[in-house]
């Protein structure tokens, strides 16, 4: 009969559609990542006698003949992930390619995903967006992967851990441009929250508290060029001179400029050196 790609809740079980429930109910068996996670969903739906088969792409050679046999016997099969929409940073792409190659056209049952809610909550212009999924673990590799997309002014979506967020903030803080960030966690759950800030000015303690636990969707968008270029150099020069006369140190002046003029620390330091009287 049919092979279904079924989206399941990312937190709130009430988000499962009636169509998705009906498809799962009528499936001969369900391919899932972890049986224990799938059992919770099946139990909640009160679906009995459903067969669950653990699937990862490295198992395709042993499982694919079973899928073909059941499909040709007129049985429905469903693929789910641990949560959300399958294939997006989850196993299944190889399987779908093999099915299509065999002339079996899968049917997608749309539903929950963490990406779209995070975009909606970001307050960014989301008429276009770029999805990068999970990043590498090293700061150097993250920077290499991010770099091509940071100058596009298009929101970039990343699935992040607490340490990833710290690395990303460190990377952005070294740049002269200013970036908006929106970090959402526990989406659709009781403690759902979103933290928004600019890369040049944020409450470090508040960020630390926010990312202390949870699963995160981080969205980065460079400010429009016109906004990034709104640096009033004459005004800053005048401010530096005034603070110099009041015997502020170079470091203190840098801190004041970063806070009050909304510019990067390294740019503030360069301007202090440039306008400091010889």
> Kind of pairing, strands 3-6 and 107-109?
parallel
Instruction: Pick the closest to residue 132 from 141, 123, 121, 124 (CA basis).
Output: 141
Strand 51-54's sheet: what is its strand order? 51-54, 29-32, 77-79, 3-6, 107-109
CA–CA separation, 60 and 96 (whole Å) = 11
The answer to whether 236 and 257 are in contact (CB under 8 A) is yes
Given a cut of 80, whether residue 29 has pLDDT beyond it is yes
Higher pLDDT, 222 or 276: 222
CA–CA separation, 104 and 98 (whole Å) = 9
Given a cut of 70, whether residue 103 has pLDDT beyond it is yes
Instruction: Pick the closest to residue 109 from 219, 229, 257, 9 (CA basis).
Output: 9
pLDDT band at 210 (very low <50, low <70, confident <90, very high): very high
> Kind of pairing, strands 107-109 and 51-54?
unpaired
The 8-class DSSP code of residue 162 comes to: H
CA–CA separation, 23 and 46 (whole Å) = 14
Instruction: Pick the closest to residue 160 from 177, 174, 142 (CA basis).
Output: 142
Higher pLDDT, 212 or 30: 30
Compute φ and ψ for 222, nearest 5 degrees. -70, 140
Helices (H), 102-136: 115-122
- Report the pLDDT value the prediction gives residue 232, as an integer from 0 to 100: 67
The structure's pTM equals 0.79
pLDDT band at 79 (very low <50, low <70, confident <90, very high): very high
The answer to whether 243 and 256 are in contact (CB under 8 A) is yes
């Amino acid at each position: 009969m049919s092979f279904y790609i079924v989206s399941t809740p990312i937190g709130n079980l009430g988000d499962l559609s009636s169509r998705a429930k009906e498809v799962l109910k009528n499936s001969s068996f369900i391919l899932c990542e972890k049986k224990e996670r799938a059992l919770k969903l099946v139990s909640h739906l009160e679906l009995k006698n459903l067969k669950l088969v653990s699937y990862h792409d490295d198992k395709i050679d042993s499982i694919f003949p079973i899928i073909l046999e059941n499909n040709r016997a007129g049985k429905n099969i469903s693929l789910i992930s641990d949560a959300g929409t399958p294939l997006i940073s989850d196993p299944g792409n190889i399987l779908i390619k093999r099915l299509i190659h065999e002339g079996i056209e899968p049917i997608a049952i749309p539903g929950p995903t963490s990406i779209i809610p995070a975009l909606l909550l970001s307050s960014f212009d989301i008429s276009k967006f770029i999805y990068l999924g999970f990043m590498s673990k090293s700061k150097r590799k993250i920077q290499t992967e991010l770099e091509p997309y940071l100058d596009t002014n298009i929101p970039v979506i990343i699935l992040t851990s607490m340490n990833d967020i710290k690395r990303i903030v460190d990377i952005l803080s070294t740049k002269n441009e200013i970036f908006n960030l929106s970090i959402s966690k526990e989406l659709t759950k009781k403690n759902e929250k979103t933290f928004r800030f600019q890369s040049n000015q944020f409450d470090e303690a508040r960020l630390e508290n926010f990312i202390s636990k949870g699963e995160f969707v981080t969205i980065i968008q460079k400010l429009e060029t016109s906004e990034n270029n709104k640096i009033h150099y004459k005004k800053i020069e005048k401010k530096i001179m005034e603070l110099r006369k009041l015997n502020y140190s170079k470091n203190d002046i840098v801190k004041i400029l970063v806070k009050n003029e909304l510019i990067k620390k390294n740019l503030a330091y360069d301007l202090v050196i440039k306008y400091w009287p010889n």
